[in-house]
């Protein structure tokens, strides 16, 4: 696992119900694993898929829960695919002033630049 000076929390937004739900959940889990290897601390909202299987809740409960987590994350990573829910999470993150990324590469480059700037300021 790559070490970063800051514990950067990344909210992963992506499709859930459009397409194959199992594939969508696995994509978030795989993305979280890559982010962890890069030294980030991902939040995987689609883990709630497993809770929903055991204890179904209405859609608005999940959205409210997701927005609370967006608020405590440092940024949002939007994975591809059509999703009203993920698009709403992006809009909410932008409203909060959080950076939104559309690729892991862009997210890593952004935080690497911040790290380099912070290191230069320490000298």
Give the pLDDT confidence of 88-107 residue by residue, as tens digits.
Answer: 999 999 999 999 999 999 99
Q: The CATH number of 9-122 is which of 3.10.180.10, 3.40.80.10, 3.40.50.2020, 3.40.50.10400?
A: 3.40.50.10400
Q: String of b and e for 68-101 (b: at least 16 CB within 10 Å)?
A: eebeebebbbbbeeebebbeebbebbeeeebebb
Domain residue spans of the chain? 9-122
Strand ranges in 2-113 using DSSP code E only, listed in sequence order? 9-13, 41-43, 75-78, 100-101
pLDDT band at 55 (very low <50, low <70, confident <90, very high): very high
What is the percentage of the chain residues whose pLDDT exceeds 70? 93
Do residues 73 and 10 lie in contact, with contact meaning Cβ atoms separated by under 8 Å? yes
Q: Model pTM greater than 0.85? A: yes
């Amino acid at each position: 696992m790559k070490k970063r000076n800051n514990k950067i929390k990344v909210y992963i937004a992506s499709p859930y119900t459009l397409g194959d739900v199992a594939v969508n959940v696995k994509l978030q889990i795989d993305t979280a694993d890559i982010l962890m290897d890069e030294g980030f601390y991902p939040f995987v909202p689609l883990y709630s898929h497993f809770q929903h299987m055991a204890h179904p809740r209405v859609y608005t409960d999940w959205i409210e829960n997701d927005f609370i987590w967006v608020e405590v994350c440092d940024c949002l990573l939007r994975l591809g695919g059509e999703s009203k829910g993920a698009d709403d999470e992006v809009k909410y993150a932008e409203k909060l002033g959080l950076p939104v990324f559309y690729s892991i590469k862009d997210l890593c480059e952004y935080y690497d630049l911040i790290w380099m700037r912070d290191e230069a300021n320490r000298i």
